Structures are given as C-alpha cells and as structure tokens.
Amino acid sequence: MSKKDDQDKKLPFSISWAKKKNFLKEQVEKLKRLQWGKYMLVLLISFVLGISIAIYHFITNQDLSQESAEIEIIELEEEENEYQFEIDEEASVPMMVEESSPQGAEEDQGITEEQLTEDVEREEELEKNEELEEEVEETVSSQQMINLIKPISGEVKNAWKWYHDEVLEAWKFNAGVDIYAEQGLEVKAAQGGQVKDIIENDLYGTEVVIKHNQSYKTIYSNLEEVVTLGEQIAQGQVIGKLVDDSFYPESRLKFKVIRDGEEVSPLEYID
C-alpha cells in the first residue's frame, strides 16, 4: 500500500471523497478532450478523403467527357464520309439511256407519247436554231459588200444624220436611211445572204435581218409577206412588201447596214 493511500485513509471521509471526486472529474475531462481530438482527427481525415475523391471524380469525368466528345466527332466524321461516299457513288453512276423501250414503258414512267413527241420536236427546233446560229457561210466577200443595190425605188431622206421628228416632236439620229415609197412595193435584198432573224418591232413593224458574211448584215423595216428564217437570199431577190407606216403619214422603208456589230452609213455602199 502506497504512502498516498495511507494518507488518504488518515483524512476525514468528506475530504477524501472530495479528492476522489476531483480526480474522477479530471480523468473524465481528459477522456473528453481525448475523444474530441479523435473526432476532430476523424473529421479532418474524412474531409481530406472527400476532397481527394471529389478531385479524382472531377478529373475522371473530364477525361471521360473529352473522350466521349472525341468519339462523337469521329462518329460524325465517319457518318459524313459515308454520306459523301454515298453521294459520290450516286453521282458516279451513269444514267442508262434505252434506245428502244417496250410498249407501255412510257406509261409506267408517267410519260405519254404526246409528251415524247413534243420533246422530240422541241429538240429538233433547238438543233435547227443552233445550226442557224453556228452556220457561218461567207455568202459574199467584203469587196462585194461595197456594191449594194437600192432595196426599193423612192426618195432617200434623213440619211445618217440628226433630224427633227415631227410626229414625236423631238430630234433623232437616223442610223440608216429612210426611203419613202408607195405602199405595197416590193423590197429587194441589197446583197445576197441568209435570213438570220425576223423581228416584230412596235415602232418599225416587221424587220428582216440578212447576214451576208462574218462582218456585214442589213436590216429592212416595215415589211409584210416576208421570207422565212434561214432562207438563202440572192442579191435583188424580193424579201417582202412595204406596208403603211402606222406612225407616219407616208410609207417608208428604214434600211440599215451593220458592220462588225456597229451601225454604219448605208450611203457608203449604195448610190
């Protein structure tokens, strides 16, 4: 038995009990402090672990989302390549043209014989027009173009000059010549060539354009009973008849010469 125990036995009971009570309180306080320290240590460790897990998940999710985005981009590129390949494949497939189709094939395709006939006629007309445009025949030489004949007998007025138009009450430049003659007189080609155009003009009536060679054309206005488009014309051949001018009191033929696409004075070529 220790000296301290002997001393405690010698002390009164109340004092001894008070000392023991204080000792127990101190031990309880120590235990409490120890428990709170453990709790704080556990909380600190839990907090650190939580932060670490959250960071790990965040980094992992970022990597996964990036990989997912890359996979989606690759899939989209593969789909676009497949789609482009399908388009290229369809575009590269040649269209099959059947020379002869069995009876009733037109109806299966929704095309009637009448429509086929119209298409054929339209193609023939386009080919004819292309031939007229592409055909370049040197009908006459440039030297022959100097010797034009007068298209119609009559008085030449307003030849390649400014004049005062009494009907329109304005000054105009006549880029050709006006030949006044009786209605119904025959109009002749000033030189041989080919009828390249027939124009309906509100001011000058029906106009006939004759192409003579690569450089020269002549134009004749206020005509009726004209020649046909594409017809070959000889010098002096009748190309139509003069009609009454709807705007002016006297009938007149308006005659022009075109050289290399520009209007020139007809007086250089006819007397």
Burial grade of 263 (CB within 10 A; 0-12, 13-18, 19 or more)? middle
Residue 152 has pLDDT above 80, yes or no: yes
204-246, pLDDT tens digit by residue? Answer: 889 999 999 989 999 999 999 899 999 999 999 999 999 987 6
Cα atoms in the 13 Å half-sphere on the side-chain side of 53: 6
Residues recorded for the chain? 271
Question: So where are the chain's domains?
Answer: 3-90, 144-268
117-144, pLDDT tens digit by residue? Answer: 877 887 877 777 666 655 545 557 666 6
Cα atoms in the 13 Å half-sphere on the side-chain side of 81: 6
The torsion angles phi and psi of 21, rounded to 5 degrees, stand at -65, -45
Burial 150-187 (b: 16+ CB within 10 A, else e): bbbebebebbbeeeeeeeeeeeeebbbbbbbbeeeebb
46-55, pLDDT tens digit by residue? Answer: 888 888 888 8
Pair of tokens at residue 170: 């304005």
Separation between Cα atoms, residue 72 and residue 80, nearest integer Å: 12
Helix ranges, the chain (H): 3-10, 13-92, 105-108, 113-134
- Is CATH 2.70.70.10 the classification given to domain 144-268? yes
